[in-house]
């Protein structure tokens, strides 16, 4: 029996850490929410309160990525809220439950750009009329110009601290930005191969007012956080909260439902509490002081049945990790496919899922997991039964069988690879029980086949340095990249991947078969249906290779009180738009009368 411990999620903190550690799915079960509120007319007024676990570290995304950027600034495009559930009035193409990984071109809508035209090696953005900067010095509410856009994009290409330049220097070198006219900005790429990467990064490039940068040098101070978003940052108390007020000059209107055409936002304000303690987070939600909350399966059991509470249950890779290995070293056991397959077969993932997570989670989620938005790129475990592989002479199993539990076959594979007595291994992991606990279970299971695993748990700063630099000697229990990166092959290809992005290929995979599949997807893009098909065809081969050893991961719950109207459990409407009030909460309104009836007042 696995000792069941109260496994706590990083919760809202992962909205921050996820940009680094899983850089932060789909509906794994559903819930009692997510289907809309009926024919109710939105009301103006009220405040929405959510939580994070840490103080913000950056306010300028060209200096460093952080959740505060998405609260005030906007990109040229983003996810389309109306293509989700949208309070029961959307098209339902998306769930938008995931916290940051959804990045399909077909689900985009214009933000600062109203529309765009795309060719094999360029994109022209046609800017929206009437988009204004927040009414703060030195912008004082002036309109956004093409010069602002060009300036902002060039910062991403040239600043060594910017994510694009750090992670994709080859793309930065291949890009050129130009102002076509006062309403049009063009991005050119020297190769069509780079276009897929460029398109997936546009939502990492926020648009800032040129004069603020010229006045202050950067935006990296909360009082300089001037953007075009639905709210303006008015107060920041470190360790306590950030408070955002309604932007009265916001350009956006409600796209669907009874409030269609209403100027957004409906809310007067938006408060982000900074609370690292999980028990306090849960208590604040329980008492109605927080309106929307995210937590892991075990914590959710005490909250989801509170009177009136609505929720959705979903899976994403925030707080999840897989076991990477130095497959590039010929003197390491992991260079041999039979060893990797043995390690996967020696983990009883169903037992982990049942006894650690109450049966709520996923066994197969690397390199992609199931969610509505990426269903076409995924192959369910049961569909891998027909993919038969020969693991030993006269011994064949299916790819699906690799994710079952067969320690006897695992021993045979180790013996055939020259390790009849097993071997010693060391794994580096962040010293956090979310990661150490499942590894302890793996250690015990692997001991049954003779693999003696030493768990080297280190502090977060040390771990992230090792992860970013891939500077480990044996094994590492590390993060997955988001599902929106699937066609770039960040986790399983070395082709065209450099900078920080290479950290996700922590098993040092350089497989010609996989590299070819990546090239096929990049050539097919932006035909996302064709990319999905290519990826789906590739998956049985990739999973057969066991380049990353998967351990079962638990689901998450997003919960909210019923006075939060026009909300359906959205987590990130667009690519890494967690906490984004313009995208996620711009159409939300608060039923103050219902809130008071339920005994809660501001």
Domain boundaries, the chain: 11-316+556-596, 322-550
pLDDT, mean of residues 144-161: 95
Residue 453 has pLDDT above 90, yes or no: yes
What percent of the chain shows pLDDT beyond 70? 92
pLDDT band at 39 (very low <50, low <70, confident <90, very high): low
Asked which of 18-27, 239-248, 537-546 is least confident by mean pLDDT, the reply is 18-27
User: Cα dist. 217→57, 224, 228, 555 in Å?
Assistant: 17, 10, 19, 43
Residue 50 has pLDDT above 50, yes or no: yes
Structure tokens at 349: 């993932």
pLDDT computed for residue 66 by the predictor: 74
pLDDT computed for residue 602 by the predictor: 62
**Apex CA 54: angle with CA 53 and CA 57, to 5°?**
150
Q: Which helix (H) or strand (E) holds 324?
A: strand 322-325
Residue 324 has pLDDT above 90, yes or no: yes
Using a 10 angstrom Cβ sphere, with 0-12 exposed, 13-18 middle and 19 or more buried, the burial of residue 363 is middle
Which has the higher per-residue pLDDT, 599 or 36? Answer: 599
Q: Cβ distance 42 to 595 under 8 Å?
A: no
Structure tokens at 252: 């956006």
Residue 9 has pLDDT above 50, yes or no: no
Residue 20 has pLDDT above 60, yes or no: no
User: Cα dist. 246→72, 157, 268, 271, 519 in Å?
Assistant: 11, 32, 5, 11, 45
Write out pLDDT tens, residues 564-581.
999 999 999 998 888 788
Asked which of 239-248, 275-284, 320-329, 477-486 is least confident by mean pLDDT, the reply is 477-486
pLDDT computed for residue 7 by the predictor: 31
Residue 4 has pLDDT above 60, yes or no: no
How many Cβ atoms sit within 10 Å of the Cβ of residue 465? 11
Superfamily of domain 322-550, CATH level 4: Dipeptide-binding Protein; Domain 3 (3.10.105.10)
pLDDT computed for residue 215 by the predictor: 96
Write out pLDDT tens, residues 495-512.
666 556 678 899 999 999
pLDDT band at 30 (very low <50, low <70, confident <90, very high): low
pLDDT band at 35 (very low <50, low <70, confident <90, very high): low
pLDDT computed for residue 490 by the predictor: 87
Write out pLDDT tens, residues 186-211.
999 998 878 888 988 898 899 999 99
Give the single-character DSSP code of 517: H
Residue 405 has pLDDT above 50, yes or no: yes
- d(C-alpha 574, C-alpha 566), whole Å: 18
Using a 10 angstrom Cβ sphere, with 0-12 exposed, 13-18 middle and 19 or more buried, the burial of residue 495 is middle
pLDDT computed for residue 38 by the predictor: 54
DSSP, collapsed to helix, strand or coil, labels residue 179 as strand
Residue 555 has pLDDT above 70, yes or no: yes
Q: Cβ distance 202 to 127 under 8 Å?
A: no
Average pLDDT, the chain: 90
- d(C-alpha 568, C-alpha 300), whole Å: 17
pLDDT computed for residue 497 by the predictor: 61
pLDDT, mean of residues 80-84: 96
Which has the higher per-residue pLDDT, 468 or 105? Answer: 105
pLDDT, mean of residues 451-474: 94
> Phi first, then psi: what are they for 325, rounded to 5°?
-140, 155
pLDDT computed for residue 21 by the predictor: 32
pLDDT computed for residue 37 by the predictor: 56
pLDDT band at 32 (very low <50, low <70, confident <90, very high): low
Asked which of 105-119, 133-147, 468-482 is least confident by mean pLDDT, the reply is 468-482
pLDDT computed for residue 500 by the predictor: 60
Whole-model pTM over 0.85 = yes
Write out pLDDT tens, residues 220-260.
999 999 999 999 999 999 999 999 999 999 999 999 999 99
DSSP, collapsed to helix, strand or coil, labels residue 518 as helix
Radius of gyration, CA atoms only, the chain: 24
pLDDT computed for residue 18 by the predictor: 36
pLDDT computed for residue 499 by the predictor: 58
Instruction: Give the CATH fold of the 11-316+556-596 domain.
Output: D-Maltodextrin-Binding Protein; domain 2 (3.40.190)
Cis amide bond preceding 53, omega within 30? no
Cβ partners under 8 Å of residue 276, min gap 6? 13, 53, 54
Which has the higher per-residue pLDDT, 74 or 480? Answer: 74
Residue 429 has pLDDT above 80, yes or no: yes
DSSP, collapsed to helix, strand or coil, labels residue 115 as strand
């Amino acid at each position: 029996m696995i000792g069941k411990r109260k496994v706590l999620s990083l919760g809202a903190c992962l909205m921050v850490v996820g940009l680094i550690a899983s850089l932060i799915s789909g509906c794994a079960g559903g819930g009692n929410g997510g289907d809309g509120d009926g024919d109710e007319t939105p009301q103006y007024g009220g405040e929405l309160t959510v939580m994070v676990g840490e103080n913000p570290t950056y306010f300028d995304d060209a200096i460093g990525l952080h959740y505060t950027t998405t609260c005030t600034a906007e990109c040229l495009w983003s996810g389309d809220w109306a293509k989700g559930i949208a309070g029961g009035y959307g098209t339902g193409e998306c769930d938008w439950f995931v916290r940051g990984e959804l990045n399909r071109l077909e689900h985009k809508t214009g933000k600062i750009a109203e529309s765009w035209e795309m060719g094999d090696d360029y994109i022209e953005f046609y800017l929206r009329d009437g988009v204004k900067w927040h009414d703060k010095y030195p912008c004082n509410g002036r309109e956004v110009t093409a010069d602002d856009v060009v300036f902002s994009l060039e910062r991403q290409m040239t600043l060594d601290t910017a994510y694009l330049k750090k992670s994709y220097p080859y793309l930065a070198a291949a890009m050129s930005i130009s102002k076509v006219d006062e309403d049009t900005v063009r991005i050119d790429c020297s190769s069509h191969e780079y276009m897929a990467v460029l398109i997936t990064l546009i939502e990492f490039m926020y648009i800032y007012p040129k004069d603020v940068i010229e006045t202050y040098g950067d935006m990296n101070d909360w009082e300089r956080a001037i953007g075009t978003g639905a709210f303006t940052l008015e107060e920041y108390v470190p360790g306590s909260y950030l408070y955002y007020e309604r932007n009265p000059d916001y350009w956006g209107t409600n796209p669907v439902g009874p409030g269609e055409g209403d100027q957004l936002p409906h809310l007067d304000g938006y408060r982000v509490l900074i609370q690292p303690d999980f028990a306090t987070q849960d208590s604040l939600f329980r008492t109605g002081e927080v309106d929307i909350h995210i937590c892991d399966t075990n914590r959710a059991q005490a909250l989801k049945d509170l009177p009136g509470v609505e929720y959705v249950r979903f899976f994403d890779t925030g707080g999840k990790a897989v076991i990477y290995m130095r497959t590039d070293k010929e003197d390491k056991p992991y260079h041999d496919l039979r060893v990797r397959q043995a390690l996967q077969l020696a983990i009883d993932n169903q037992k982990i899922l049942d006894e650690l997570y109450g049966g709520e989670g996923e066994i197969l989620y690397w390199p992609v997991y199931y969610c509505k938005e990426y269903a076409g790129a995924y192959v369910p475990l049961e569909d891998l039964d027909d993919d038969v592989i020969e693991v030993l002479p006269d011994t064949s199993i299916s790819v699906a069988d690799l994710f079952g539990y067969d320690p006897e076959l695992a021993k045979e594979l180790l013996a055939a690879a020259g390790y009849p007595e097993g071997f010693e291994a060391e794994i580096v992991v962040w010293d956090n029980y979310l990661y150490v606990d499942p590894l302890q279970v793996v250690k015990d299971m692997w001991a049954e086949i003779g693999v003696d695993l030493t768990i080297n748990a280190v502090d977060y700063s040390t771990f992230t340095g090792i992860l970013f630099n891939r500077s480990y000697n044996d094994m590492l229990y590390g993060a997955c990249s988001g599902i929106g990166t699937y066609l770039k092959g960040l986790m399983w290809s070395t082709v065209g991947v450099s900078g920080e992005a290479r950290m996700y290929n922590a098993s040092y995979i350089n497989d010609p078969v996989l590299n070819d599949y990546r090239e096929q997807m990049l050539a097919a893009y932006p035909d996302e249906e064709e990319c999905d098909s290519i990826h789906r065809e590739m998956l049985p081969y990739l999973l057969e290779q066991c380049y990353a050893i998967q351990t079962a991961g638990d689901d998450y719950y997003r919960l909210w009180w019923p006075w939060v109207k026009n909300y359906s459990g959205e987590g990130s409407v667009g690519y890494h738009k967690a906490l984004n009030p313009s995208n996620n909460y711009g159409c939300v309104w608060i039923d103050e009368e219902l809130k008071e009836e339920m005994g809660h007042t501001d």
